[in-house]
Amino acid sequence: MQHVAVIGAGPAGLMAADVLTAAGVSVTVFDRMPSVGRKLLMAGRGGLNLTHSEPLEALLARYGSAQAWLEPVIRAFPPAALTAFVEALDQETFVGTSGRVFPKAMKASPMLRAWLARLQAQGVTFRVRQRWVGIDAAGHPEFLSQSGERTTVPANAVVLALGGASWPRLGSDGGWVPLVAGLGVDVAPLAPANCGIKIEWSEHLRTKFAGEPLKRIALTFNGRRVRGEALITETGLEGGAVYAIATAVRQALERGGEAPELTLDLRPDLTEAQMIERLSRARQKISTSAFLHRTVGLPPVAKALLHEVAGRTLPVAPKTLAQLIKALPLPVTGLSGIERAISSAGGIKPGEIDAHMMLRQRPGLFVAGEMLDWEAPTGGYLLQACLSTGFAAGKGALAYLAAK
């Protein structure tokens, strides 16, 4: 029986192992952590967004510049196949109001337990606390155990699924980059994606309002407007609306020049004309803070942001104040660190792999998941691509073994 080493026990690696063992191939899954699927379990804390139910063409467009090479991969294992796979693990799914697909349990642990039981029944062997440290001259992977013992594992093929570099404490620390680059493979630098942005708040705002949510807001950057929610942090902003523009902000920062600026609409459900009409009403004998709350429904955190930009005294003219509320300028100084990002960009460039996810310069060595150079917004697109590339790598390894 031929043997394949799958390195990385995240979604992409587990999917590759599933495809291989279902076809009768012997598989050992290696991971440097004490247990498997840790990042999947973390994703499950937010409900485990599996994929998205929107039309496939719209879904594919979410991958931006990576769409061209990812499209055949995702079409081979599309959202319908992913949903069917999860339900085959006895995990019911449903489509939320936003079109996102979730397991009915709204967490990852039941799915992961069922999946691991299935893999073990198919003969998969798991070896944890094993850090991958290279490939020998014969193409066999080498590992370093927690005790410092170095071993070489004979394998007819190898699947690398070591993740990107976000949330390193869960296993994906990007330590594979120099190892892969040392094999002569071109790797784009890893960078944060779906991450927070840095804004230099005043001491008052940082100490009084860090941790406060901003609900029903809209952010605009470089002409793109995103409605949603955000969270004030000590260093800036995080949250769904922020993650949606993070890639564009990162690209602007990489280009250099003048610091990028985004605008925050504190009441996107009101037009500027409606805002002016409300702010033109008689204030009577109430404070500015109470007036803003009563007329346009601004919470204390929104009023604090207005003072952050305008200073101690807010504009009195209704039109000027309305324009500030509708387009509050916030200069961006940077991005939150990759260790706090939801996902990472960069990785092995698409020109380095063939249609079967095999490295062109290293026959028998396949790659899947966030090790590859692609990025996507949150909403199910990340897990979809990880599982689709894992499926493709498993199928590619089967074809390689059959031809060999």
Give domain status of residue 229, yes or no.
yes
Calculate mean pLDDT across residues 96-116: 96
User: What is the crossing angle of helices 11-22 and 109-121, to 10°?
Assistant: 30
Statement to judge: residues 298 and 162 lie in one domain: no
Are 187 and 204 in a shared domain?
Answer: no
- Residue 289 has what pLDDT? 87
187 in a structural domain: yes
Q: Are residues 153 and 17 in the same domain?
A: yes
| Confidence category of residue 297, pLDDT binned at 50, 70, 90 | very high
pLDDT band at 282 (very low <50, low <70, confident <90, very high): confident
In a domain? residue 340: no
Could you tell me what percent of the chain has a pLDDT over 90? 92
| Domain identity same for 182 and 154 | yes
What pTM did the predictor assign?
0.93
Whether residues 210 and 254 share a domain: the answer is: yes
pLDDT at 183 > cutoff 90: yes
Range(s) of the domain holding residue 263 = 197-335
Q: For residue 259, is pLDDT > 90?
A: no
The reported pLDDT for the residue numbered 258 is 78
Same domain flag for 298 and 369: no
pLDDT in tens, 307-319: 999 998 898 899 9
The residue among 282, 315, 335 that closes a domain is 335
Residue 320 has pLDDT above 80, yes or no: yes
Let me know whether 24 and 115 are in one domain. Answer: yes
3-state secondary structure the chain: CCEEEEECCCHHHHHHHHHHHHCCCEEEEECCCCCCCHHHHHHHCCCCCCEECCCHHHHHHCCHHHHHHHHHHHHHCCHHHHHHHHHHCCCCEEECCCCEEEECCCCCHHHHHHHHHHHHHCCCEEECCEEEEEECCCCCEEEEECCCCEEECCCCEEEECCCCCCCHHHCCCCCCHHHHHCCCCCEEEEEEECCCEECCCCHHHHHHHCCCEEEEEEEEECCEEEEEEEEECCCEEECHHHHHHHHHHHHHHHHCCCCCEEEEECCCCCCHHHHHHHHCCCCCCCCHHHHHHHHHCCCHHHHHHHHHHHCCCCCCCHHHHHHHHHCEEEECCEECCHHHCCEEEEEECHHHECCCCEECCCCCEEECHHHECCCCCCCCHHHHHHHHHHHHHHHHHHHHHHHC
Say whether both 176 and 247 belong to one domain: no
Is there a domain that residue 341 lies in?
no
Residue 221 placed within a domain: yes
**Domain annotation covers residue 107:** yes
Residue 390 sits in a domain whose CATH number is 3.50.50.60
Which of 307, 335, 363 represents a domain boundary (last residue)?
335
- Average pLDDT score over residue span 313-334: 95
| One domain for residues 256 and 120 | no
* Structural domains counted in the chain: 2
